[in-house]
């Protein structure tokens, strides 16, 4: 127990506690979700100022969820490097400067995209590993090597635990599918069954319990909580679980007009049909002469006529998720696009209509989220 | 199905051989023996596909619509000529992974931390050469998973499908033109990407090979992410293994355990392809600043050029690396300028030229508003 009397030990305890506190603080700041912000920012988890800095600009070091929580450990070593700048070899200076310039560029221009943030990950990990290895093997901290190593492994384990835990809440639907049955097929829930599922559910766990109770009793397998047209009486055609039933459906049928394709290159790669490339997020459609707005300066009715008459476009191919990027586009679809096919991946085919109606197709889980989130928003963090 | 599988093996084998042929030239220019032959080979394992995409790019640009057989034969003849002109060095290439990765020795437990009971555990392995099996286990998990995925899972991601379809357009049309709007009138597809064509051209090459050998598949294109992910792991392992075998293994486990990078390795995407070239350019930059030798300079410029050709981000990172090269190299101004000119020439030749053309007579590239999808 002599080590308890040593100053170095208590310094290490202080250092370890500060590290743990910093990590905890970063997690704390990056866990909150503000649903009132832009959907694309929420989706990328940079909707609050703290998240914009930690997950965005400094995401290469602090976006623990995707980058792991070790990368930031390169900071003390970089600081040490700059303090001892004069004694460093030229080639090391060059490498560190290049690394930092690349870091700044990605931070400034690629903060939006986790894929860009991963660019320097192997190099950062290499630096962290070598620096830590040299640090641990240096004479200064020799008696406390074990603690440092255990600390490192603890950091990693915690992060993985965190990721596993929180990823679960992101993909509740997939988890339920995996838990119950491997085989995959779609069921259409009637309004009665939906009401039974939703009745009394005020939290996610209660909702899931209800699903299990009601659906297992009614069907052999639980299936996605998708579906339903509450207000329109038409038949939805469900595909079996192949990669993309909707694409197969498009490919194997004859269509009288073109498709408006909402940013889904899948359509072109797999179907061989002609489409009009559109992205709801920007409200731009693309053609030989460039790009133009679809909904801007047009009423919903005019948009429908423009698509049907000027562009000879009779169908829309989209993803339910992508519709959310533009509320006006979603509104247009609800009013003038009749859903005719929806698959497990939430790819959806609509048929454009001249007359407006009310064509609702929405995941049940969304309606529940909306209802519950008024009273208990924290239960639905990350639930998209 | 079997034929498709054999065509995939053929494609993978040939690109590794192409890489080896290119490495043999770096060996030839390494007159001062500054570089280990195995290290050069390991670092440059992924050069083959990049250079093939570059050749296809120039062919489609200058000799368009000449037929699949022409492109197929030209690429092979090109590499055969390179091999024939340098066969002595090609034969000297060290491709022995067992020795190169130092897997034939015992694990050194002397410098690991004194965990409780660790000595009892390590004594079991005293005298046993288990490095190879541990390495095989770590690599095997990845290789098994990857092959299973490539053979079973179709391409599904948004970005990869953009590249794949543009590659299909290139491969079927067999020409590249610089136009303001990259619109395909046959499908009405509009390529919104602003990056170099290297990655889509990998699929174009696959279609060229497929046309000649009579198969239609995207297995090769699918395999690229994993292939380059594996190369990255190998490079990481190799350099950390120089410090400690256990450290290298720990790092690989860390990579597997990190969500973002695990996804990068396991989802079809361009990321591993571009990151591989980034790592290569960094390594050669380090060597060049250390030794000021021609091999490192050529290696750096080649990787930086291909990095640029694969992704816009690569252009900017390469510019920064070039800046460091110019500022931190120990040489007088005249020498620095000479190095800089050689480097600029190679970077332009190996991909940078695309961005010049695209900025002037194409989409406008850097002058466009950048958008995030």
- Asked if the model's pLDDT at residue B274 lies above 70, the reply is yes
Identity of the residue in B162, B257, B321 whose CB atom sits nearest the CB atom of A265: B162
pLDDT value at residue A150: 64
Poorest-confidence range of A310-314, A354-358, B50-54, B274-278? A354-358
CB contact under 8 A, A66 and B263: yes
pTM: 0.84
- Asked if the model's pLDDT at residue A85 lies above 70, the reply is yes
Taking the Cβ of residue B274 and every Cβ of chain A, the question of whether any pair is shorter than 8 Å is answered with yes
**Cβ A261 vs Cβ A317: under 8 Å:** yes
- Long-range (24+ apart) CB contacts under 8 A made by B366-373 are B368/B194, B370/A109, B370/B194, B371/A282, B371/B192, B372/A40, B372/A112, B372/A113, B373/A263, B373/A279, B373/A281, B373/B158, B373/B192
Backbone phi, psi, residue A259, to 5°: -105, 140
Neighbours of A16 (CB within 10 A): 16
Token pair of A209, please?
Answer: 């319990």
Q: How far apart are CA A138 and CA A313, in angstroms?
A: 70
Backbone phi, psi, residue B282, to 5°: -65, -45
pLDDT value at residue A251: 85
Of chain A residues 220-279, which have a CB less than 8 A from chain B? 243-244, 258, 263-266, 268-269, 272-277, 279
CB contact under 8 A, A63 and B290: no
Greatest mean pLDDT among A176-185, A358-367, B69-78, B363-372: B69-78
Query: Do strands A347-352 and A313-319 pair parallel, antiparallel, or not at all (unpaired)?
Result: antiparallel
CB contact under 8 A, A115 and B269: yes
pLDDT value at residue A17: 77
Taking the Cβ of residue B371 and every Cβ of chain A, the question of whether any pair is shorter than 8 Å is answered with yes
Interface test with A, best of B43, B114, B171, B190 (most A CBs within 10 A): B190
Nearest CA in chain A to B243: A130
CA distance B360 to chain A (A): 17
pLDDT value at residue A159: 66
Greatest mean pLDDT among A168-172, A315-319, B127-131, B244-248: A315-319
Task: Count Cβ atoms within 10 A of the Cβ of residue B291 and give its class: 0-12 exposed, 13-18 middle, 19 or more buried.
Answer: middle
CB contact under 8 A, B240 and A263: no
**Cβ A364 vs Cβ A381: under 8 Å:** no
Backbone phi, psi, residue B266, to 5°: -110, 0
CB contact under 8 A, B260 and A282: no
Higher confidence at residue A74 or residue A21? A74
Higher confidence at residue B245 or residue A24? B245
Higher confidence at residue A370 or residue A290? A290
Backbone phi, psi, residue A235, to 5°: -100, 125
> Which residues in chain B are closer than 8 Å to A130, comparing Cβ atoms?
240, 243, 247
CB contact under 8 A, B320 and A286: no
Band of residue B31 on the pLDDT scale cut at 50, 70, 90: confident
Higher confidence at residue A141 or residue B114? B114
CB contact under 8 A, B113 and A136: yes
pLDDT value at residue A141: 52
Of chain B residues 294-353, which have a CB less than 8 A from chain A? 313, 316-317, 320-321, 323-325, 327-330
Average pLDDT, chain A: 71
Band of residue B104 on the pLDDT scale cut at 50, 70, 90: confident
**Cβ A290 vs Cβ B181: under 8 Å:** yes
ipTM: 0.92
Nearest 5°: CA angle at B317, between B23 and A116? 105
Of chain B residues 210-269, which have a CB less than 8 A from chain A? 232, 235-236, 239-240, 243-244, 247, 250-251, 254-255, 257-261, 263-264, 269
> Which residues in chain A are closer than 8 Å to B281, comparing Cβ atoms?
none
Q: How far apart are CA B236 and CA A78, in angstroms?
A: 20
Neighbours of B130 (CB within 10 A): 14
- Asked if the model's pLDDT at residue A102 lies above 80, the reply is yes
Poorest-confidence range of A174-183, A207-216, A298-307, B145-154? A174-183
pLDDT value at residue A184: 27
Interface test with B, best of A115, A117, A244 (most B CBs within 10 A): A115
Per-residue pLDDT reduced to its tens digit, A25-54: 887 888 777 777 776 777 788 888 888 999
Per-residue pLDDT reduced to its tens digit, A347-383: 888 889 888 776 655 443 443 333 332 222 222 212 2
Region B353-373 average pLDDT:
77
**Cβ A229 vs Cβ A360: under 8 Å:** yes
**Cβ B53 vs Cβ B201: under 8 Å:** yes
pLDDT value at residue B337: 95
Three-state secondary-structure class, residue A260:
strand
- Asked if the model's pLDDT at residue B59 lies above 70, the reply is yes
Backbone phi, psi, residue A318, to 5°: -145, 180
- Asked if the model's pLDDT at residue B107 lies above 50, the reply is yes
CA distance B367 to chain A (A): 15
Per-residue pLDDT reduced to its tens digit, B293-351: 999 999 999 999 999 999 999 999 999 999 999 999 999 999 999 999 999 999 999 99
CB contact under 8 A, A287 and B188: yes
- Asked if the model's pLDDT at residue B212 lies above 80, the reply is yes
Higher confidence at residue B179 or residue A182? B179
Helix, strand, coil percent content, chain A, rounded in steps of 5: 55, 10, 35
CA–CA distances in Å: residue B67 to residues B172, B201, B209? 9, 16, 11
pLDDT value at residue B118: 66
- Asked if the model's pLDDT at residue A269 lies above 50, the reply is yes
**Cβ A222 vs Cβ A180: under 8 Å:** yes
pLDDT value at residue A173: 33
pLDDT value at residue A236: 31
Band of residue B63 on the pLDDT scale cut at 50, 70, 90: very high
pLDDT value at residue A221: 33
> Which residues in chain B are closer than 8 Å to A121, comparing Cβ atoms?
258, 260-261, 264, 275
Poorest-confidence range of A184-193, B132-141, B155-164, B244-253? A184-193
pLDDT value at residue A227: 30
Higher confidence at residue A70 or residue B118? A70
Nearest CA in chain A to B162: A265
Average pLDDT, chain B: 89
Distance of CA A210 to the CA centre of its chain: 26
Poorest-confidence range of A180-184, A366-370, B55-59, B61-65? A180-184
pLDDT value at residue A369: 36
pLDDT value at residue A230: 24
Task: Count Cβ atoms within 10 A of the Cβ of residue A212 and give its class: 0-12 exposed, 13-18 middle, 19 or more buried.
Answer: middle
Beta partners for residue A287, in sequence order: A290
Taking the Cβ of residue A59 and every Cβ of chain B, the question of whether any pair is shorter than 8 Å is answered with no
Identity of the residue in B165, B240, B243 whose CB atom sits nearest the CB atom of A269: B165
Crossing angle (nearest 10°) for helices B259-266 and A145-170: 60
pLDDT value at residue B99: 85
- Long-range (24+ apart) CB contacts under 8 A made by B255-258 are B255/A122, B255/A125, B256/B141, B256/B142, B257/A68, B257/A156, B257/A159, B257/A160, B258/A66, B258/A67, B258/A68, B258/A121, B258/A125, B258/A159
Q: Kindly state the percentage of chain B with pLDDT values over 90.
A: 61
CB contact under 8 A, A114 and B260: yes
| The residue count for chain A | 384
Nearest 5°: CA angle at B166, between B210 and B320? 115
> Which residues in chain B are closer than 8 Å to A126, comparing Cβ atoms?
236, 239-240, 251
Nearest CA in chain B to A122: B236
Of chain A residues 189-218, which have a CB less than 8 A from chain B? none
Q: How far apart are CA B109 and CA B294, in angstroms?
A: 39
Token pair of B283, please?
Answer: 């390594």
């Amino acid at each position: 127990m002599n080590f308890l009397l040593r100053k170095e030990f208590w310094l290490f305890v202080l250092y370890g506690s500060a590290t743990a506190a910093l990590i905890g603080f970063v997690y704390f700041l990056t866990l909150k979700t503000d649903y009132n912000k832009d959907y694309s920012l929420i989706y990328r988890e940079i909707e609050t100022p703290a998240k914009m800095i930690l997950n965005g600009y400094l995401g290469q070091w602090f976006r623990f969820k995707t980058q792991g929580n070790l990368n930031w450990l390169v900071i003390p070593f970089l600081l040490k490097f700059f303090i001892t700048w004069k004694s460093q070899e030229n080639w090391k200076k060059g490498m560190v400067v290049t690394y930092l310039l690349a870091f700044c560029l990605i931070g400034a221009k690629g903060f939006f995209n986790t894929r860009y943030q991963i660019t320097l990950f192997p190099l950062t990990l290499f630096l962290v590993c070598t620096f830590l290895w040299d640090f641990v093997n240096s004479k200064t901290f020799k008696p406390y090597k074990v603690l440092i190593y255990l600390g490192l492994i603890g950091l990693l384990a915690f992060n993985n635990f965190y990721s596993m835990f929180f990823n679960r809440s992101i993909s509740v639907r997939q988890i339920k599918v995996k838990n119950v049955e491997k085989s995959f097929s779609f069921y259409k829930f009637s309004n009665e069954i939906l009401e039974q599922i939703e009745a009394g559910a005020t939290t996610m766990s209660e909702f899931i319990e209800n699903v299990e109770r009601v659906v297992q009793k009614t069907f052999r397998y639980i299936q996605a909580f998708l579906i339903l047209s509450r207000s329109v009486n038409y038949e939805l055609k469900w595909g079996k679980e192949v990669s993309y039933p909707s694409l197969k459906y498009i490919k194997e049928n004859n269509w009288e007009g073109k498709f408006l394709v909402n940013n889904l290159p899948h359509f072109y790669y797999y179907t061989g049909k002609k489409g009009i490339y559109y992205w709801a997020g920007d409200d731009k459609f693309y053609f030989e002469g460039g790009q133009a707005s679809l909904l801007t300066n047009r009423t919903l009715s005019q948009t429908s006529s423009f698509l049907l008459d000027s562009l000879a476009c009779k169908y829309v191919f989209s993803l339910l998720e992508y519709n959310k990027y533009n509320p006006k586009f979603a509104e247009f679809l609800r009013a003038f696009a009749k859903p005719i096919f929806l698959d497990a991946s939430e790819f959806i085919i609509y048929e454009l209509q001249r007359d407006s109606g009310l064509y609702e197709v929405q995941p049940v889980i969304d309606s529940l989220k909306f209802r519950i989130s008024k009273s208990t928003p924290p239960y639905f963090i990350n639930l998209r | 199905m079997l034929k498709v599988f054999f065509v995939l093996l053929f494609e993978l084998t040939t690109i590794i051989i192409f890489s080896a042929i290119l490495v043999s030239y770096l060996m030839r220019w390494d007159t001062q023996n500054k570089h280990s032959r195995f290290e050069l080979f390991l670092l440059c394992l992924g050069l083959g596909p990049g250079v093939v995409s570059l050749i296809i790019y120039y062919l489609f640009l200058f000799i368009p619509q000449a037929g699949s057989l022409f492109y197929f034969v030209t690429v092979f003849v090109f590499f055969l000529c390179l091999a024939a002109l340098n066969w002595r060095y090609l034969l000297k290439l060290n491709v022995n992974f067992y020795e190169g990765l130092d897997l034939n020795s015992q694990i050194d437990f002397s410098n690991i931390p004194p965990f409780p009971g660790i000595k009892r555990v390590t004594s079991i392995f005293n005298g046993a050469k288990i490095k190879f099996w541990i390495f095989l286990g770590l690599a095997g998990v990845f290789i098994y998973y990857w092959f299973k995925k490539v053979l079973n899972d179709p391409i599904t991601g948004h970005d990869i499908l953009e590249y794949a379809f543009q590659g299909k357009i290139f491969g079927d049309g067999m020409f590249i033109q610089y136009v303001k709007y990259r619109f395909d009138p046959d499908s009405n597809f509009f390529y919104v990407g602003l990056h170099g064509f290297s990655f889509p051209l990998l699929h174009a090459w696959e279609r060229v090979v497929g046309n000649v050998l009579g198969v239609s598949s995207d297995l090769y294109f699918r395999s690229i992410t994993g292939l380059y992910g594996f190369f990255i792991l190998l490079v990481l392992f190799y350099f950390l293994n120089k410090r400690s075998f256990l450290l290298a293994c720990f790092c690989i486990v860390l990579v597997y355990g990190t969500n973002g990078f695990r996804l990068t390795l396991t989802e079809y995407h361009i990321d591993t392809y571009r990151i591989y070239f980034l790592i290569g350019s960094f390594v050669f930059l380090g060597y060049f600043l250390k030794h000021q030798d021609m091999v490192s300079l050529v290696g750096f410029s080649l990787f930086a050029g291909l990095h640029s050709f694969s992704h816009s981000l690569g252009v900017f990172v390469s510019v920064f690396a070039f800046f460091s090269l110019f500022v931190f190299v120990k040489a007088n101004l005249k020498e620095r300028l000479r190095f800089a000119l050689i480097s600029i020439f190679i970077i332009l030749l190996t991909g940078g030229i695309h961005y010049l053309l695209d900025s002037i007579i194409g989409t406008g590239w850097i002058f466009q508003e950048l958008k995030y999808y």
